Amino acid sequence: MTTATSDTARLPLSVIMPVGKRHAANIAALYAEYKVGLASLDVPYEFIVVLDGPRPEVAAALQRLLERGESLIVISLTKRFGEATALMAGFQRASGRVIVTAPAYHQIQGAELGKLVRALDKADVAIGRRWPRVGSRFEVIRRDAFHRLIATGGQRFNDLGCGARAMKRRVLEEISLYGDQHRFLPVLANRQGFRIVEVDVAQSPLDRYDGGYPPKEYLHRVLDIFTVFFLVRFTKKPLRFFGMVGATTFVIGALLVAYLAIDRLVFLHPLADRPALLLSSLLVVLGMQLFALGLLGELIIFTHARDIKDYQVDEVVRYPEAVTGNRAAAPVGTEVTRSHVV
Amino acid sequence: MTPEVSIVVPLYNEEDSLRPLYAAITHAVAPLGISFEIIFVDDGSRDATVRIADEIARSDPRVCLVKFRRNYGQTPAMAAGIAQASGDVIVTMDGDLQNDPTDIGALLRKIDEGYDIVVGWRFDRQDKLVSRKIPSRIANKLIAKVTGVPIKDNGCSLKAYRASLIKKIPLYSEMHRFIPAMASIAGPKIAEIKVQHHARQFGQSKYGLSRIYKVLLDLMVIKTVASFTARPMLWFGMLSVPMLLAATVAFATTIVTLVSDGTYSLPIAGCGVIFLSSAIILLGSGAIGELVYKLGDMREHEFSGLTQQIRVRSLIIQ
């Protein structure tokens, strides 16, 4: 539980910049850009840089900034853990009531960062959308397909790749991210019932790709979609997923077996030279295996059910001093306690 | 001053029913002479439910409101309410006025008699016959058969539990229908009493026929976790028996034909290999299951402690 007192003791704003493999050549220039954007908010803030794995040249640049007297917090991870893990590492150090994540390369114009924080008036998470945006025709189609797939059964987002986001502290406290899931933060937050807005931000002129990504990257995106689909829909009910797929496979296999059996027993066609027998028994076996996997998943959920909660309580309201009887308002001087459960 | 009874009511878009419901509950429970609290759980309603519940809470210290940020469903709502409840006995009921709070007294008397769970049975159910009552009757027969807990009406929300028991039972997915079955892991004493059921006054029924497939899968899950969690190896072993048999038959056929004719059929031998490997993988899954259970935090000995009765004959020492 967080109480109101610890909340007011916090800084208004923490900025986290996870630095991964792809980062700006001139970190100092990027930092200066962000500083301009944050200055427009006119609130005290802290700037946390998380180095995801050893990045000697970035570390050196940050060292120079620190020597110049810039107030930075630099966290270095000993090996590369992935952007989401780096983000969470930064969050553990962050003390702000609002958390802003900033991409480590010129993705948006740094001056636009303030816009995201201001958008939190009406939402819990504000995510940047690079607009207007440059990119090849292929990239546009690919991006559209990606977001369309992700949108099944939830809010539609337009630029999950944009690393500039602002969110209230509670959001990161309730969501656990790891590996490369940072992209799906809005999807997972939406799943937890947080309100999310997209804010148009100006794309940096330096945010260009030269000839797209390597093919491996596309494969990763496809697997990511599968991951998020599974995480969002079936984490708590593995049997719903494995059971469906498994049962379908099993039934197809069983029907085939039945057909072969009838063919053998009634029409006396020899079974021995039919490869269909192999196929059908494979299907039966595969179906059973998938089902067993689902059951194993259920076993895991059940035995760890105390740690896994299916829901998030927004607020528990109790008025212990209220006077019985149908008086609409509590009398003067009565303290109203509202506890936030996190 | 913890109350003796907590009444948990999940609410989803019940702006019309809420005030009459609150009045009915207080009216029914106050004469019983017990201290109680009412826990409203708002399951992400989009109408005025939260505002009305908040007003009620303002006027009555016995009322607590738990708010969800979005709609999660009836089971999470009940789980949240149960987690919040502080009474020794927890009563759950629907928020749509179809259950009658006057039955709470009868439920509590049964708990006093020593039962751990008391389930309401809507013997005179006021719902549509084809879309609600008949599927429900079939489902209840099936649930009773599979879980071995003979309850005529699992779908009735009006139930009373000992708090010490229900707070330990994991509730997730859409299991509120199966709480007694789930709780049967702990071997509780279950009673079923007739309760009244009213036709819907406000709003629409929120559930349809589409949940049948979910009920079936959940039933399978319950059966598995309730009866086999402690022995996953045994259970997966049982699954692998038919596979092993099929493999044996296939291999025997192959050997016989090989010896008698000097030739054998590739598909049949192949099937033998497939079935054998599947049996081995299933046994491996069983081993993983044992590991999971061993490392988990739900163990049989814990459940056995929930409802056990200890009688010690005291020695008379002069």
The one-character DSSP state at B133 is I
Instruction: Reply yes or no on whether the pLDDT at A193 is more than 70.
Output: yes
pLDDT of residue A329: 42
Instruction: Reply yes or no on whether the pLDDT at A190 is more than 70.
Output: yes
Measured distance CA(B209)–CA(B131) in Å, rounded: 7
pLDDT of residue A64: 92
pLDDT of residue A261: 84
pLDDT in tens, A58-84: 999 999 999 998 889 999 998 888 888
Greatest mean pLDDT range, A2-11, A283-292, B309-318: A283-292
pLDDT in tens, A122-156: 889 999 998 888 777 887 888 888 888 777 667 78
Q: Is B36 in contact with B62 (CB distance < 8 Å)?
A: yes
Which of B42, B58, B229, B248 should one mutate to test binding to chain A, selecting the residue with the greatest count of A CBs within 10 A?
B58
**CA of B317, closest CA in chain A: separation in Å?**
46
- Widest pairwise Cα distance in chain A: 92
pLDDT of residue A74: 92
pLDDT in tens, B91-130: 999 888 888 899 999 999 988 888 888 999 888 777 777 7
Q: Assign A329 to helix, strand or coil.
A: coil
Radius of gyration of chain B (CA): 25
Question: Which A residues in the span 222-261 are in contact with B, Cβ-Cβ below 8 Å?
Answer: 236-237, 239-240, 243
Higher pLDDT, A328 or B158: B158
Q: What is the SS3 assignment for A49-75? A: EEECCCCHHHHHHHHHHHHCCCCEEEE
pLDDT in tens, B262-317: 877 788 888 888 889 999 999 998 898 888 887 776 665 566 666 666 655 544 44
Instruction: Reply yes or no on whether the pLDDT at A334 is more than 50.
Output: no
Measured distance CA(A67)–CA(A29) in Å, rounded: 16
Greatest mean pLDDT range, A48-52, A306-310, B174-178: A48-52
Nearest CA among B252, B278, B276, B246 for reference residue B265: B252
Could you say which of B66, B84, B225 has the minimum Cβ distance to residue A299?
B225
Is the minimum CB–CB distance between A342 and chain B shorter than 8 Å? no
- Quote the pTM value: 0.70
Mean pLDDT estimate for chain A: 81
pLDDT of residue A341: 42
ipTM: 0.71
Measured distance CA(A110)–CA(A164) in Å, rounded: 9
Is the minimum CB–CB distance between A335 and chain B shorter than 8 Å? no
pLDDT of residue B206: 52
Measured distance CA(A36)–CA(A249) in Å, rounded: 58
pLDDT in tens, B223-249: 776 666 667 888 888 888 988 998 999
A194: which residues sit within 8 A by CB, 6+ positions away?
A: A123, A124, A125, A167, A171, B69
Q: What tokens appear for B274 in the block?
A: 């497939």
The structure tokens 């797939």 sit at A149
pLDDT, average across residues A234-263: 86
**CA of B312, closest CA in chain A: separation in Å?**
33
pLDDT of residue B297: 67
pLDDT of residue A337: 45
pLDDT, average across residues A13-21: 91
Is the minimum CB–CB distance between A320 and chain B shorter than 8 Å? yes
**CA of B24, closest CA in chain A: separation in Å?**
14
A299: which residues sit within 8 A by CB, 6+ positions away?
A: B224, B225, B229, B232, B289, B292, B293
